[in-house]
Structure 1
């Protein structure tokens, strides 16, 4: 029996502490063949070397206790392909691509998609965050959902609270550019699937891209660097609809590399700078008449968190929104070449 196939793109940056849960869970997938491409954006924590050691069997894997489904280690050694290598005739495959520079999320995704798209047997590609764990039937569900869509999503759940929804799909406010997570904090058990016709975008944490969409719309825009790439992409889809796969579940650790918000604390200055810069850039492209309202929101948001004592975070919001020189703490997290790509100027 010929199994359905699905390309997978994982963009890593300092993901050594989470990537193996993701890879092991993908390798445990049932009823599907996966062409997994790991694109490493110049990690400084040794992620590529650790992946090689893991694939060779030199690093044993044991699933942590918080994985919400049974997960056994795949047999090792595993062949680890290089960019351009042909895929094996059967079974899952893993390709490791090292970019040599952190060009941002979209640049990493585009590199992986370009690699996978050369294989004409692959009709859809799954962009997945590396800090995720995937139940064994989710990949087949994504691979076999009826076609005709542009972008396909599923339900992303918090890994540490596996009955709590992080996102079912995204909504965007046309006046401020602020995005909302459909289903956020609702019970997985008690919440029905959303109507994809009412969604504005599919989260980049778990997003299946049809070949038809990729060839018609082209790659992601890379100048956002982080955030809003998938929102921009979805709004360029033309008549290709968004779709939803109720069986496509993913458990997400959320924000391990960039400092997403936690209860009682805002996101890191790094995260806030790029999120608000991306939001205003998005408005300029799609809803230019709403830019003043979007900037007013930035001022209000910055004032709100500054009043709580988070002055560095407040300044990051303003600097990103008004496209000012990034805070030193934000720039310092990127290597010189990555800074030029992220900020469009040399900050040395």
Structure 2
């Protein structure tokens, strides 16, 4: 695909983190001229969070100015997921920005899907880039994704994700591989130097899941596999989406560098004792849900390792998160999906 004829829809789901979104859009404003893109943001945190986000984006240090373009049309059943939409534009470039306020917390999958349903019917956009709000992509990140997709005929492509800006080591290369004997996902390339030589063919052969922090999906792939599965709400929606996209090819763009703080909206910190109750609960529940859907022969193994993971929180002196993991595991066994009942995100 020729970059000068390409336009991408960038989808970002936020939850009461306006400064993260502001920094993300500021980074996007420094992106390469091509491919062109527009930005679609879903604020899941309610009316107050929506108003604060809009103020932050157009404030003195904000990357946006007020815009006038109407948002893409959507079927009535879909548009009911958003009660208000604000229109902006990135300063200094021909990029439209739409911010939608969700009627309730739709989760990562639901917030993403609200905009997918609006973007997909319009042939103006050739693909979507689902991007975490606490990321700050380097200028050529999107360009590298589109080029790898085109050159390798890949329907879904991931980036080199690093823990923070100017970090010299990798958090993951594109995403994860499936570990059958542990019934879980393992990061690819974790801890490697960012610019170390890579065996692209080997990495793409190992890829089972493109990280939800940066997922580029072509229109052709999206039209075939459909939107994210909202039963996951948060966690493993990227793994499920990737499984469905495998027939279109999963790819890796090494030069697409995306610094990602991680866990600023849902509390999924890397230290066990610091993780939020919700993130622990959903990771435990959704692992079992994912395994049952795609690797059913490993369900018992997933349950066993789920128990072990729950016990690890006791060793980390976090009885509250042990409780969250145990409750999530029981919910997964019962087949519960969607927004958690307690919902203390």
Alpha-carbon distance, 1:239 to partner:
2.1
Question: Between Structure 1 and Structure 2, which shows a larger proportion of helix residues?
Answer: 2
1:151 to 2:156 alignment = yes
Report the RMSD for the aligned CA atoms in angstroms: 2.9
2: CA distance, partners of 1:294 / 1:166: 24
Tell me the SS of whatever aligns to 2:123.
coil
2: CA distance, partners of 1:165 / 1:140: 20
2: CA distance, partners of 1:237 / 1:213: 7
2: CA distance, partners of 1:166 / 1:6: 25
1:48 to 2:69 alignment = no
Alpha-carbon distance, 1:137 to partner:
1.8
Structure 1 residues not aligned, in runs of 5+: 62-72, 326-338
Deviations 1:122-179 (A, max 9, x none): 1111000000111122222223334221211110111156112111121122344321
Tell me the SS of whatever aligns to 1:236.
helix
Counterpart in 2 of 1:108? 111
Mark the CA change 1:346 to 1:11 in structure 2 (over 3 Å): closer, same or farther. closer
Counterpart in 2 of 1:224? 232
Deviations 1:266-316 (A, max 9, x none): 522211100010000011111222111111111112223213321111111
- Using structure 1 for the length normalisation, give the TM-score: 0.83
Counterpart in 2 of 1:133? 136
Tell me the SS of whatever aligns to 1:165.
coil
Mark the CA change 1:324 to 1:189 in structure 2 (over 3 Å): closer, same or farther. closer
1:342 to 2:339 alignment = yes
Instruction: Determine if contact 1:273/1:319 at 8 Å carries over to the other structure.
Output: yes
Mark the CA change 1:28 to 1:47 in structure 2 (over 3 Å): closer, same or farther. farther
What is the aligned length?
319
Tell me the SS of whatever aligns to 1:321.
helix
1: CA distance, partners of 2:343 / 2:160: 40
Counterpart in 2 of 1:79? 67
Instruction: Determine if contact 1:37/1:112 at 8 Å carries over to the other structure.
Output: yes
- Using structure 2 for the length normalisation, give the TM-score: 0.83
Counterpart in 2 of 1:171? 177
Mark the CA change 1:142 to 1:80 in structure 2 (over 3 Å): closer, same or farther. farther
Tell me the SS of whatever aligns to 2:221.
helix
